[in-house]
Amino acid sequence: QVQLVESGGGSVQAGGSLRLSCIASADTRTPYYWAWFRQVPGEEREGVANINADGSTRYADSVEGRFTISRDNAKSTLYLEMNDLKPEDTAMYYCAADPNFITWTRRFVPIAYRYWGQGTQVTVSS
């Protein structure tokens, strides 16, 4: 069982920045697939960024160039650095992890991940 706890959300104006953190009870060096998702009430949860055990990353088109996913293995922490935030980035953000191989096409599919945090709210005002 892996426990994930997110933090770092808040309210910012458009163009601002936030850094989300996700502390994991598991060693982030283990061969897990990690990801950040976000969800707006009434809409489906969508993948934002993914990082694998080998350090390779993937980003949603909507955040490419503005968001950066990373991990600090020594702290067992996953990060999401968010810059140039836009009102459409407003959502609840969740970190997720799974120990099994996830194909490229499924890395932004929520059901591919076994472990989830409780989420942290990000609100961007115009």
CA distances from 35 to 16, 23, 125 (A): 22, 13, 25
Kindly report the length of the chain.
126
The pLDDT of residue 31 is 65
Q: What is the pLDDT of residues 48-81, one digit of tens each?
A: 999 988 889 999 999 999 999 999 888 889 999 9
Kind plus residue range of the DSSP H or E element containing 4: strand 4-7
